[in-house]
Structures are given as C-alpha cells and as structure tokens.
Amino acid sequence: MTEVKDKELAKEIEEILEDNRQMPERVNARLNLQLADCSREEGFTEFAFDVEEWCLNPYNGVHGGIICTLFDTGLGIGAVAITQKMVSTTDISVSYLRPMNGRRYIIRAEYTQVGRRMVRSTGKAIDAETGVVCATSMASFVLTESRKKGLQV
C-alpha cells in the first residue's frame, strides 16, 4: 500500500477489511478490495480492485453486477469508517460508460453529504493503467447502530 493521506481513517478501513477477510466465502472478502488512499477531511476513499476470473462476463469484461457490487461495497466501507456507524444501502445507481476489460481498477468514493442519519456518495471506477473512467455511481446509505469490532459491512 502506498502512503495514504489520512492514517487514522486508513486504520479504521483496514480493520473493516480485516473483518471481511474473516469470512472468505462472502462477497465482501471475495472482492479482495485493497485500500489505496483516503482522507476524512477531503471526504474520499480509494480502493484497488484486481480483476479475477470469477468476476468476468462472457465477453471477458467485469460483469455489471460485480461493478455495482464494487461500488456498494467500496462506498459502504468508507461510510462505515467515516461515521463509525453500520450502514445499509438505501439506493444505488450505476452508469456503465465503457467496458471494464482491464486487470486493475481504482474504486474512488467521494462523500458528498455525511449527516446524522444518511450518507450520500458518488463513485468512479477508474482503469488503473489508463486512467479512464469506466463507470460512475451514486449511492445513499442510512446509518444504523454504532460499529462494533467484528461486524460486517
């Protein structure tokens, strides 16, 4: 992992990722997201995603359902870390701009509104090699109970 902007937030995110790894058969662990960068002050998180065979559609691109899941999971993990509350997705939309035929992507989330009850965010799936934005997302999350160690996103 390269140097992140916000070490405190990075620690929170790494704890969530480690919790996910404790259940390897579940989707959050299967995605194997890796923290790339984050900043609570600037309101963003970035995760690296390495494409695996099981993620591909018949045309050798990342399946659209996996792309939506990447946004839901990546944006959601950041929302949990930033708020220290568990979250539940209330809505998510994805715009598929270009086929995701590359091998590595950066899933960037920007938190546009963090309130007492809701978090709103936007996301981009960026080809790590070319810098091309392949998909975008908007998602909202409702805050639930306080995060306790060991709970899943």
Higher pLDDT: 23 or 3? It is 23
What residue numbers bound the domain in which 98 lies? 7-146
In this prediction, residue 94 carries a pLDDT of 99
Domain-embedded: residue 105 = yes
pLDDT tens for 107-152 read: 999 999 999 999 999 999 999 999 999 999 999 999 998 766 544 4
The CATH number of the domain holding residue 102 is 3.10.129.10
Domain-embedded: residue 82 = yes
The closest alpha carbon to 121, from 94, 153, 85, belongs to 94
Give the DSSP H or E segment for 133. Answer: strand 133-146
In this prediction, residue 37 carries a pLDDT of 97
**8 vs 129: CA distance, rounded Å:** 28
Domain-embedded: residue 1 = no
In this prediction, residue 2 carries a pLDDT of 63
Query: What is the four-CA torsion angle of 121, 109, 53, 96, rounded to 10 degrees?
Result: 60
HSE of 140 in the Cβ direction (CA atoms, 13 Å)?
Answer: 8
In this prediction, residue 151 carries a pLDDT of 46
Amino acid at 120: R
What domain count does the chain have?
A: 1
Domain-embedded: residue 152 = no
Which structure tokens are listed for 95?
């715009």
Summarize the confidence of residues 48-65 as an average pLDDT: 97
Which structure tokens are listed for 111?
């938190």
Residue 57 pLDDT level (bands cut at 50, 70, 90): very high
Share of the chain above pLDDT 90, in %: 90
